[in-house]
Homo-oligomer: A and B are copies of this chain.
């Protein structure tokens, strides 16, 4: 019998590059930026459509108070999808989060279950390409490869890590070894990667047999695995003990396992992928009108081009004579920003944080409810 596929959705991320929509305590995976569903909800539904699995098998790994939002959003989608919500008491990076999920999957579904690890905050334009890649991934994972999916780059992006593609693996036609994992490059290096053609964006999606990835933890990062198991024993699978968990070494999964493993397989895929890392990238992947504007909600624009406008339900956003400007009204804050100037937004959020402005971390409950109702 074929091994069951268990989607493991990593849902702990924070980040304020999409502030004020995204807050530390209500990060972007919960936002409905591109459809009437949130990125998390889209990820969960996509995992079902691109594999032969069922909603009851979806596992989410989330962080502290974020678990209530995960539970609410998955319940709204399908009750069974909210069965396995693993809640990290503190953020210990992806090596810990994936080890936690792996231990839980092993306990519930046995070591032969295939984990499909997915970030919760990415956009996919072409699901059928992804489904094909996952099918290849499942084959390689069944043969004890640690599979990672590399996105064919469409531009010299400096915000992503890259994977250099190695040879085709024996017995496969489109599955490769990894020649190297490389950090975020500078622009000339990124340009050379795109020209070279053998470098792919590191998507953060993985597939592996649960028993195999746990064995790789034993070999390459035994301290992390031991600490995760200890925290699970001191608490339980769903809520590991906080004090024990806080002591787990904080490392990204790529560094702790993938870069050290001798069993890595890379599957190239072009699923029209974006991590929606900024307002600029949201504008790029959104449907634009003739004036190159992206407009959501109650807004009026005159003599304006290249803008991204997200209005709040209760209030008109009116734009006159703007170029490449982002206007986002969340009800408690209105951001007006140059679309491309991410440094300025970073400086703004840092300034607000320094002033202890609660809008950096919190989204008021009433606005969460409104946002879920009205952003579509």
Contacts and interface: CB of A to CB of B under 8 A. Distances in A.
A348 B302 contact: yes
Given A315-B331, A332-B315, A320 B337 contact: yes
Interface string A308-340: 000000111111111001010101111111100
Contact-residue size bin, chain A (C-beta under 8 Å from the other chain): 35 or more
Contacts of A357: 300, 316
Contact of A319 (B304, B318, B321, B348): B348
B317 A344 contact: no
Given A303-B347, A344-B304, A337 B321 contact: yes
Contacts of A320: 335-338, 341, 344-345, 347-348
A191 interface: no
Copies of this protein in the assembly total: 2
A290 interface: no
Contacts of A343: 303, 321
A338 B317 CA distance: 14
Contacts of A374: none
A247 interface: no
A127 to B, nearest CB: 34
A102 to B, nearest CB: 40
A322 B300 CA distance: 20
A366 to B, nearest CB: 12
A288 to B, nearest CB: 18
A320 to B, nearest CB: 4
9 contacts: A301-B348, A303-B348, A316-B352, A318-B337, A319-B335, A320-B335, A320-B336, A320-B347, A322-B338
The 10 tightest CB contacts between A and B, nearest first, are A321-B344, A321-B341, A321-B338, A302-B348, A303-B344, A320-B344, A320-B337, A302-B347, A316-B333, A320-B348
Interface of A: 20, 300-304, 314-322, 325, 327, 329, 331-338, 341, 343-345, 347-348, 351-352, 355, 357, 359
